[in-house]
Amino acid sequence: MLACAMVPTLDVPHGTWLVVTPVELTTRGSDTMHAGAQTGSSAPARPQQSRYHPRGWTGRSDGGIPMHVGSVVVDCNDFARMLAFWRAALRYVPRDPPEEGWVVLRDPEGRHVNVSLQLVPEKRIGKNRLHLDLYTENQQEEVRRLLELGATRYPRTSEPGEDFVTLEDPEGNLFDVIDKAGA
């Protein structure tokens, strides 16, 4: 199951493709959690430190704090198998050593959004509400490689002119391989 936090609801017409890319969002100063405000101490308010951003957030002149998608989290039951699959599929590396069913995989060049894996006890039920679109200029070769790594083809009838192939990861999470050749 793919998980995501703080996603706004979008009203898009049926049949419209929506591609999600990292963007900067802003929370207003009054909604910002500060260490001093949390504890009720008289210490001056300062950005709260986070395991996801060790230096904390830097404020903006409008009182907001920059926010962006740092990682897409995939819930999984077989952590080792999913780690091996997604690490090889994306050619990503762990940001830190995996710990107790949690890892953040990052692009070694630092250009693309992280993908994290989280061990959960419950099985995925039903269709994904969110999926990854993996862009490539060599779709046929990448689909072959992903199938060799343990992906399976999702049974669906393709429409003429589609530029994507839908696959499932080893736990049945859907993702698309998008042909960007010539784009």
35 found inside a domain: no
Q: Are 101 and 79 in contact (CB under 8 A)?
A: yes
User: 15-72, pLDDT tens digit by residue?
Assistant: 434 344 343 333 333 333 333 333 333 433 434 434 444 445 455 566 677 888 999 9
- Pair 58, 75 in one domain: yes
pTM here is 0.66
Number of structural domains (the chain) is 2
What percentage of residues in the chain have a pLDDT greater than 90? 57
The boundaries of the domain holding residue 136 are 130-183
Q: Are 23 and 61 in contact (CB under 8 A)?
A: no
Question: Of 75, 105, 123, which residue sits at a domain end?
Answer: 123
- Pair 64, 117 in one domain: yes
- Pair 51, 103 in one domain: yes
- Pair 136, 85 in one domain: no
- Pair 58, 117 in one domain: yes
- Pair 61, 117 in one domain: yes
Please give the angle made by the CA atoms of 86, 90 and 94, to the nearest 5 degrees.
Answer: 65
What percentage of residues in the chain have a pLDDT greater than 70? 66
CA distance 13 to 34: 39
23 found inside a domain: no
